[in-house]
Copies of this chain bind each other. A is one copy, B any other.
Amino acid sequence: MTDFKEALDENARLVTSALDRLLPLEDKPESRLMEAMRYATLSEGKRVRPFLVISSARLFNVSESCALRVAAAVEMVHCYSLVHDDLPAMDDDELRRGRPTCHVEFDEATAILVGDALLTKAFRVLSELDTHPDPAVRSELVTAMARAIGEEGMVGGQMLDLKAENANLGMAEVTRLQRMKTGMLIAFACESAAILGKAPEPARHALHAFVHDLGLAFQIVDDLLDVEGDEKELGKKTGKDAAAGKATFVSLMGRDRARAQAEMLSGQATQHLEMFAEKADPLRELARFIVRRRS
């Protein structure tokens, strides 16, 4: 596991330096926007989604530099969603990854624009020649990401989440909400690698089954950490869902069953990876890490 933590850290460093290159700070009148975009992206995240892109891309012998660009685009989308979710009109959070949120450090208007610009930049990165020589691959990446993060995916899930306060959602509804809000971008991380590698259908299917289970396990652990986690370690406020009267996997199942369910899903996820043999070891280790993480 120590080795895996090192691999994860090394991956995070690679992703951060790719983001640093893709979001250069130039001396222009609008440079405050770039500063804020960099603030929102160049922090100490675990970079789980980029890890999924890069580790999955290795299954299909995709060039590292192509995979890294897609990984950076996925992380830009994740960061944009955090910046907008943290806004006062949304979740109203002041702390993220142990630092003031973007609208606290800058201001609300800047934070809105940072999200808009990061989202736009992510699509730009996917569509540019350096991401893949085949334009069919590039446009498939754009379509697939847009589907995962638009009104049928992440943004739709965020809309459901806003309405979830005191709404007494049941298990099926919470599962659908979380699948849209966080699961579909996580799934795109693996899907993007299959697109880059022009993977055959059975491999795509196996990877999709893996990440479907993994995404759910990830979210259950997130809910557990919101109840059990340490604010310092997490770098964000805890206990928010309960305070807001939102149903979560933990409120619906209880802690013990939730933890058992996450463990079960993590194990089930790795079973889908058999066809990739030892090439999928980093994905297997990620699945183990995800249920044991404390932040």
Contacts and interface: CB of A to CB of B under 8 A. Distances in A.
A150 interface: yes
Contacts of A283: none
A140 B139 CA distance: 9
Contacts of A84: 112-113, 116
Contact of A156 (B33, B115, B126, B156): B33
Nearest to A111: B89
Interface of A: 28-30, 32-34, 37, 80, 84, 87, 89-90, 107-110, 112-113, 115-117, 119-121, 123-124, 126-128, 134-136, 138-140, 142-143, 146-147, 149-151, 155-160, 162-163, 173, 176, 180
A147 B117 CA distance: 10
Contacts of A160: 29-30
A156 B180 CA distance: 30
Contact of A159 (B90, B113, B119, B159): B113
Given A116-B115, A136-B135, A139-B127, A151 B109 contact: no
Given A127-B143, A135-B136, A139-B127, A150 B120 contact: yes
Contacts of A173: 29
Per assembly, the copies of the chain total 2
Interface of A is mostly: helix
Contact of A124 (B80, B89, B146): B146
Contacts of A150: 117, 120-121, 124
A89 B112 contact: yes
Contacts of A155: 33, 113, 116-117, 120
